[in-house]
Structure 1
C-alpha cells in the first residue's frame, strides 16, 4: 500500500509490522524520522537483530538472499536495513527485491530507504513492495505546506504558537527542514527555561523573537549547508547578512575549511574505489546529512575539491592580513563555485 508520510505512524500503531517498507525521498530529515519509526516499532515487536546493507554501485545483491537464508540459524527476529541512496536498484536489485516480495521469509522485516525519488524511479520492484508492505514516498514540502508542518512539530513539543510566529519561523529556516527541526527543539528548550510550558498562552512573533534572539541570524553552519546543497543565490544572501551583522571571514573559515576538507577526503576515497556509503561511515557523516554531501560530491571531481582546499588557505591568509585580495569576495567566489560548477572560473580571477 502507498502511504502518505503522516499516515505511517498511525499504520504502525494499528497493525503488525509488514514484511517490507520502502521510504524514499530527498528530504533527509523526514526519511530518517519515518525510518526511525519503523525501527522503533520493530524493537517493540522483538526484532532484536538488525543488519545494515549499503546498496551502492557494485553491491552484491546475493547478500540479501544469503542473509535471508541464514535466518533459520537464529532464534530472534531480524530487521534488514537496506540503504539504497540512488533509489535505483538496477536489474539485479530489482529482481532480488521482487523475489523477496513474492515469498517474504517469516520473522523478517526489510526496510528500504532511498535519498532520492521521483516517478521515474518507480518500477516493478517498488510496486511489489507496495503490494505486500508499505511504500512511503516523501515529496519535498511546498512553500504553503511548511507552516502546517512547523505548527504540528511545535505542538508535538508542547508549544502553542500563533500563525504570525509560525510564519516568522518559516521565513528564518527558508524551507530547510533540518534547520527547522533544530530551531523547534531549541525553541522548546528556551520556552521551558523561561517558564512557558504547554499550558501557557500561544506564543506570538515578538515573544518568539525574544526567545531566539541569539540564534535569529544566519550562521556559518547554514552557509556551508547552502553551498553543499548547490544554492548559490542563498549563499550570496547569507554572506551579505553575516557581513552586515559584523562577522569576520577569519571567524567563518574554520567551519568552511572543515567542510571542504571533509568533502576532499570523501572524494579521494570514492575516486579510489571505496563505496560512498562506506566512505561517509568512516568519516562519521550523519545519515541525515549524507544526501547533501552526495549531491556536492557529484558536482565536482576529486581534483577540484583539492583546489577548493587550497583556496581555503588563500582566503584564510587574506582574512588575517597575510595575503592579497578581499577576503569576503574570495569567500563568496569559493562558496558559489562549490554550489555551481559553472562558476568555478571565478576562482582564477
Structure 2
C-alpha cells in the first residue's frame, strides 16, 4: 500500500487499534523512499514514534550495500526468543536489494521476523523497480511511502510555512535572503530555522538577523566587510570576501551585504545632490546617528563614477549568482567590494 507521509499515523492507528500488537496486524514493514533527506528523515521519525507507542523500544540499524549479508540477517530472525524485546530493524539501502535480499524480503511476507518492525529507507525508487513483480508483492502487503522532491517554485511557500510552524516572524526580504542562502538544501533550511528560533524566538527577524546567523561562525562577518568598505580599505575588504567564501558563507549573502551598502550610499549622494544636508540625507537613507561619521568620511572620497561602477558590478554579481553570467563570482565580489571602498576595479571592470 502506498501512503503519503501525513497518512502514516492514521495507517498505524488503523492497523493497531486499541492495544492490538504486531501479532494482530499484517503490517510489519514500512519502506520510505525519497531523494530529499529531510522529508525521508521526518517520515522515519513518525514511523519510529508510532512504533515506540507499540512498545518497540530497541533499534538495530544496518547500512545495506550491494555486498550486504542478507542471509546472515535472515538467520537472526528465524527463531523467536521467549525473552526477546520488540525492536525496530532499520535498513538504510545504499543499493537496492540483491537477489538474496529480495528473497529475504519476500520470505518475510510469508513469515515476518518475530517481534520486529522493519523500517527501510532508500533514495527514490525508479519506475522500472516499482513495476517489478517482487516490489509489487511487497507494496501490496506492506506500506510504501514515496516522497517526491520539492519543485523549485514551491520552495518559497514551503519555507514560509516552516517558519510559521516554528513560531518565527520573518520579513519578506529575510525569507528571500534565506531562500537564496539555502539554495534548495532543505536540511540546511531546517537547521537555520532552528537556529533562528533559539536566537530570536517570536521577535521579528529581518535580513540583518539572517545574515548575522549565517555568518556568525566566521572570524569575520558580512558587517566587517561593509565596515572595511566604509573605511576605504579595499585590500582588507577583498581579504574578508575571500575569507568569508572559504568559510562557506554563501555568495548571495555577500552580495546582499555589499548591495545594501551601495543603495545606502547612493541614497545619501542623491539626497545631497538634491540640496539636503548630510544629516538629512543620512536620515532619509536610514543611517543611524552613531554611524553617520563613517559615511560622511566615505562619501567625500567616493566619486560618482565609482558608484556607477559599483552598480554595474552588483548587476554582474547578481547575474553570476543566478548562473546567467559566465564571469567568476569570486572576482566579481572582490571587485565590487574594492570599488565600493572607493578604488577602481581590479579585474572585472564593467564596460
- Per the TM alignment, residue 111 of structure 1 is displaced from its structure 2 partner at its CA by 0.7
Larger Rg computed on CA atoms: 2
Q: 1:248 aligns with which of 242, 248, 258?
A: 242
In structure 1, the partner of 2:337 is none
In structure 2, the partner of 1:6 is 6
* DSSP-derived class of the 1:72 partner: coil
In structure 2, the partner of 1:213 is 211
Contact 2:36-2:148 within 8 A present in 1 as well? yes
In structure 1, the partner of 2:139 is 130
For 1:148 and 1:6, locate their aligned partners in 2 and report how far apart those are by CA, in whole Å: 18
Alpha carbons of 1:145 and 1:125: their partners in 2 closer, same or farther (altered >3 Å)? farther
Contact 1:98-1:124 within 8 A present in 2 as well? no
Unaligned runs of 5+ in 2: 17-21, 219-236, 250-329, 332-351
Alpha carbons of 1:137 and 1:84: their partners in 2 closer, same or farther (altered >3 Å)? same
User: How many positions carry a matched residue from both structures?
Assistant: 223
Contact 1:77-1:108 within 8 A present in 2 as well? yes
CA deviations on 1:104-153 (whole Å, 9 max, x unpaired) are 24532111111353323323343233222211112211112223332332
Counterpart mapping for 1:172-211 below 5 A: 172-192=181-201, 196=203, 203=204, 207-211=205-209
CA deviations on 1:171-221 (whole Å, 9 max, x unpaired) are 3311111111111111211222xx52xxxxxx5xxx33132231356999x
For 1:60 and 1:82, locate their aligned partners in 2 and report how far apart those are by CA, in whole Å: 12
For 1:156 and 1:180, locate their aligned partners in 2 and report how far apart those are by CA, in whole Å: 13
For 2:9 and 2:175, locate their aligned partners in 1 and report how far apart those are by CA, in whole Å: 24
Alpha carbons of 1:119 and 1:189: their partners in 2 closer, same or farther (altered >3 Å)? same
CA deviations on 1:204-249 (whole Å, 9 max, x unpaired) are xxx33132231356999xxxxxxxxxxxxxxxxxxxxxx9682335
- Per the TM alignment, residue 254 of structure 1 is displaced from its structure 2 partner at its CA by 11
Q: 2:56 aligns with which of 42, 47, 59?
A: 47
Larger RCO: 1 or 2 (CA < 8 Å, sep 6+): 1
Contact 2:79-2:114 within 8 A present in 1 as well? no
In structure 1, the partner of 2:115 is 107
For 1:111 and 1:146, locate their aligned partners in 2 and report how far apart those are by CA, in whole Å: 28
Q: Aligned-pair RMSD on alpha carbons?
A: 3.4
* DSSP-derived class of the 1:40 partner: helix
Contact 2:124-2:146 within 8 A present in 1 as well? no
Q: TM-score of the superposition, structure 1-length normalised?
A: 0.55
In structure 1, the partner of 2:86 is 77
Contact 1:85-1:116 within 8 A present in 2 as well? no
Q: Does 1:93 align with 2:101?
A: yes
Q: 1:21 aligns with which of 30, 40, 55?
A: 30
Counterpart mapping for 1:270-285 below 5 A: none
For 1:140 and 1:127, locate their aligned partners in 2 and report how far apart those are by CA, in whole Å: 22
Contact 2:88-2:116 within 8 A present in 1 as well? yes
- Per the TM alignment, residue 97 of structure 1 is displaced from its structure 2 partner at its CA by 1.0
CA deviations on 1:289-334 (whole Å, 9 max, x unpaired) are xxxxxxxxxxxxxxxxxxxxxxxxxxxxxxxxxxxxxxx89xxxxx
For 1:25 and 1:77, locate their aligned partners in 2 and report how far apart those are by CA, in whole Å: 27
Alpha carbons of 1:249 and 1:212: their partners in 2 closer, same or farther (altered >3 Å)? closer
* DSSP-derived class of the 1:109 partner: strand
In structure 2, the partner of 1:262 is none
Q: TM-score of the superposition, structure 2-length normalised?
A: 0.54
Alpha carbons of 1:249 and 1:45: their partners in 2 closer, same or farther (altered >3 Å)? same
Counterpart mapping for 1:216-231 below 5 A: 216=214
Alpha carbons of 1:210 and 1:47: their partners in 2 closer, same or farther (altered >3 Å)? same
